[in-house]
Structure 1
Amino acid sequence: MPPVRPFTDSPPGPTALRRIRVALLILGGISLTTGLNGAVLRLGLWAPVVSDRLADLHGPLMVLGFLGTVISLERAQAIRRPLALLAPGLLGTGSLMLVLGAPSALGKLLVIEGAAAFVLVMLGLWRRTRADLVAAQTLGAFLLLIGSVLWWLLNVPDLIPVLVVFLVVTIASERAELAQISMGGRAVPTLVTLTFALCVSAVAAVLWPEPGLRVLGALCVLTAAWLFRDDVGRRMIRTEGFRRFNAVALLASNVWLAAAGLTWVIAGAPQSTYSYDLVVHGVFLGFGFSMIMAHAPTIFPAVLGRALPYRPVMWVPLALLHLGMTYRAMGDVLGSQHLWQAGGVVTVVAVMTFLITAGLSVVTANRGADSTAHPAQSSSERTES
């Protein structure tokens, strides 16, 4: 008989952890692709899978399922504790259950548990550092938890302010963390002040939509202006390669955040589908996904355990994203369904194209050339980007 291996509670090794992280990233990718399928259905066009359920789940899959899973996965890697992977695992699994048609209560409960686990991860990071920057990121995690709980109680449009602030605070914190040197000593105090104001305005917008959304919109404009002025984008726009790509993605994302905020300031609680569309997709697509494209070659290697080198072909999905957002915004402003649909299709193609180019970049990366593949690989230049 073969010897019986003794039970051990030792943590998984680096290879096993890397495989788990990749599996969780794939789980988030499932939320993304099914969410994009739902997006096309909501545009009133043909999609690979025709399902009213996927159309209704479009927003939660994109924000809670994809963004929640990926962001919590990156933070779990930062704390370097295997148990922290429960957060992205629960968020991704809950979203998958909803996609597969499991009882809504089960899927939503798993998402809530994943968001709660994410809060615990962030509290662990804050206890380790006691840094104001991490405190701001922790507040962002609390907003994800609040949003997932509100999803149990309210319709998706009613919880949009909370999810918007979750994304804005998370990304602004990431930018302040990556660019502390170039943004100067005022970066963290500014971030903390904006984070507190954004969180209060998000709660106010849920309770009193008309005045609350106008205040929230003004704060989004202020955040975009701060990032545009103090972040590295304006200085790196004159460089080449990855730095220029990064700069364009950063600057363009801030424009869409400002446009969404300005829409809220002018319109207050959206009274039309078009104003609602401009706010939601201005934040989550124009701002959020442009930032993802900017950060991918810098952040994803830590999650994947493999380099994601910058390739010039990455300009294609970035250009498509902002071209599509431009068409979509024109359709919203002019009330043109054709422009709105065309812009929506182009943004879906942009996201899918980015997934393909990023995947091919990882697969074809030569480990021996990782240090020269793009300038964001060194720790000092990571700070600058």
Structure 2
Amino acid sequence: MLVSAVIGGLLRVGVGEALLGSDAGAAVFGRAAVFHAALMLSGFFGTVIAVERAVAARVRWAFAAPALSGAGALALLGGATGLAAALSLAGAAVFVAVHALLLQRQAMTHTRLLALAALAWLAGNALFAAGRGADAPVWWFVFLVLTVGAERLEMTRFAPRKPAAEPALLGIVAALLAGALLSAWQPAAGGVLYGLALMALGVWFALYDVARRTVRAPGLPRYMALCLLSGYAWLVIGGLAWMGTALGCPGRDMALHALGLGFVFSMVMGHAPVILPAVAKVKLRFGARFYAPIVALHASLLLRLFGGVEDAGLRALGAALNAASVALFAVIVVSAIVAARHAARQAPPPKPADAADAEARLAAALAAARARRGDAPH
């Protein structure tokens, strides 16, 4: 799904037309280009997050959510648009039911936000099924942004924070939901409110996230913090671009990809070294090479979104480098898993990380605790 979504995105900016040479390629990749947002935001990210929740929920029926969502994405690539919409909608409905179960087990602010995120995914898929695919990304981004927000809110419970932090977050979330709802009837007013809420959320993260402190630590905690803080900057840029688009400025590409690439993929790259071991039960060996794809992602995104404003060639080059940075990250993750297995065969397991690794150890402990009690990492 990720590969097809990336290829579809490249085709939309004029890169990779050779893939359309055969009839089969033209059909599959042409649909990937048309449904790029649905494949990436709902088909890929929705399915991956649903897998994580199913693992944490520890009930077999929870795996129906990622199974249905993944099948929907495959059906979309196969040309069965109606079936794809029905499967994706059913998958999101099961996902909501999973969160109802998780809320019964632990009703806290962050689990309520996760439930709201699940409902946002369901709303986006319902719009897509109703033939309003252009309106669905508003809710798919709410789904992803609230998922991140809930996880980071939980992290702040283990560090000193101002009493106003949680009420401020809830107010921002209310504004984000109001903007999403209003966008269907008053696109300009709704888009401005939605963009302002995204910007405010980026500022909230920057002020209250523990990454502000762990960025001074060495090793994995610093890497994670830099990924998170840079992602928050893109969240602010994406919110500003969303406002501009609502007011008639030509900033849709910037709005969508500052959020989808700059923010969401920064979160993926930052959390993967901790989440993968917790969910997939694999070990990986962190090293400085992890910085290469995150730097490449940000540099190529700057080229695409700012250099490509007036130059289609720079926009296409930036998009190609975006894809290359994602591919590089996948290669580095695989190599880190292989390196960890090789090290395990050659020597006894390494000692636990020292106190400087507070963020990584805290996140790993949270993931293990959530798995035991039925709550979910993201």
Taking structure 2 as the reference length, what is the TM-score of the superposition?
Answer: 0.86
167, 177, 190: which is aligned to 1:212?
A: 190
* Paired residue secondary structure (2:19): coil
231, 236, 256: which is aligned to 2:209?
A: 231
Closer/same/farther in 2, CA of residues 134 and 317 from structure 1, 3 Å limit: same
Asked if the contact 1:331–1:340 (Cα under 8 Å) also holds between the matched residues in 2, the reply is: yes
99, 117, 127: which is aligned to 1:122?
A: 99
327, 341, 345: which is aligned to 2:316?
A: 341
Letter in 1 for 2:144: L
Query: Aligned residue for 2:349?
Result: 369
- Once the two structures are superposed, what CA deviation does each residue of 1:281-304 show, in whole Å capped at 9, x if it has no partner? 011110000001111111122221
- Once the two structures are superposed, what CA deviation does each residue of 1:329-354 show, in whole Å capped at 9, x if it has no partner? 2135x422122112111111111111
- 1:342-357 alignment, distance < 5 Å: 342-357=317-332
Asked if the contact 2:135–2:184 (Cα under 8 Å) also holds between the matched residues in 1, the reply is: yes
Q: What's the C-alpha RMSD, in Å, of the aligned pairs?
A: 2.2
Query: Aligned residue for 2:376?
Result: none
Query: Aligned residue for 1:291?
Result: 267
Closer/same/farther in 2, CA of residues 381 and 217 from structure 1, 3 Å limit: same
Query: Aligned residue for 1:282?
Result: 258
- Confirm whether residue 326 of structure 1 aligns to residue 316 of structure 2: no
* Paired residue secondary structure (1:182): coil
- Once the two structures are superposed, what CA deviation does each residue of 1:268-320 show, in whole Å capped at 9, x if it has no partner? 25553xx1000000111100000011111111222211123322211111111
Query: Aligned residue for 1:303?
Result: 279
Closer/same/farther in 2, CA of residues 73 and 46 from structure 1, 3 Å limit: same
Q: Percent identity?
A: 31
* Paired residue secondary structure (1:173): helix
Query: Aligned residue for 1:20?
Result: none
Q: Quick one: distance in 1 between partners of 2:156 and 2:313?
A: 40
- Once the two structures are superposed, what CA deviation does each residue of 1:217-275 show, in whole Å capped at 9, x if it has no partner? 01111000010111122222222211111111011101111001112233425553xx1
Closer/same/farther in 2, CA of residues 200 and 309 from structure 1, 3 Å limit: farther
Letter in 2 for 1:364: A
Q: Quick one: distance in 2 between partners of 1:365 and 1:186?
A: 42
Asked if the contact 2:284–2:339 (Cα under 8 Å) also holds between the matched residues in 1, the reply is: no
Asked if the contact 1:286–1:325 (Cα under 8 Å) also holds between the matched residues in 2, the reply is: yes
Q: Quick one: distance in 2 between partners of 1:127 and 1:371?
A: 37
**How many residues are aligned here?**
350
Asked if the contact 2:52–2:279 (Cα under 8 Å) also holds between the matched residues in 1, the reply is: yes
Query: Aligned residue for 1:244?
Result: 222
Query: Aligned residue for 2:144?
Result: 167
- Once the two structures are superposed, what CA deviation does each residue of 1:174-221 show, in whole Å capped at 9, x if it has no partner? 111233222635544333332222112111112211110001101111
Query: Aligned residue for 1:111?
Result: 88
Shift of 1:155: 4.2
Asked if the contact 1:309–1:370 (Cα under 8 Å) also holds between the matched residues in 2, the reply is: no
Letter in 1 for 2:338: V
123, 135, 140: which is aligned to 2:112?
A: 135
Shift of 1:120: 0.7
Provide structure 1 residue ranges, at least 5 long, that are not aligned to the other structure. Answer: 1-30
Asked if the contact 1:370–1:377 (Cα under 8 Å) also holds between the matched residues in 2, the reply is: no
Q: Quick one: distance in 2 between partners of 1:63 and 1:72?
A: 13
Q: Quick one: distance in 2 between partners of 1:77 and 1:270?
A: 43
Letter in 1 for 2:195: G
Letter in 2 for 1:200: A
Q: Quick one: distance in 1 between partners of 2:8 and 2:240?
A: 27
Q: Quick one: distance in 2 between partners of 1:145 and 1:182?
A: 33
Closer/same/farther in 2, CA of residues 48 and 119 from structure 1, 3 Å limit: farther
Shift of 1:131: 1.1
115, 122, 125: which is aligned to 1:145?
A: 122
Closer/same/farther in 2, CA of residues 226 and 342 from structure 1, 3 Å limit: same
Letter in 2 for 1:118: F
- Once the two structures are superposed, what CA deviation does each residue of 1:125-169 show, in whole Å capped at 9, x if it has no partner? 111111121011100100000000101224433222211211111
Closer/same/farther in 2, CA of residues 143 and 381 from structure 1, 3 Å limit: closer
Query: Aligned residue for 2:289?
Result: 313
Closer/same/farther in 2, CA of residues 269 and 83 from structure 1, 3 Å limit: farther
Taking structure 1 as the reference length, what is the TM-score of the superposition?
Answer: 0.85
Letter in 1 for 2:185: L
Provide structure 2 residue ranges, at least 5 long, that are not aligned to the other structure. Answer: 21-28, 368-378
Higher relative contact order by CA 8 Å / sep ≥ 6: 1 or 2? 2
Query: Aligned residue for 1:49?
Result: 19
- Once the two structures are superposed, what CA deviation does each residue of 1:111-135 show, in whole Å capped at 9, x if it has no partner? 1111111111111111111112101
Letter in 2 for 1:156: G
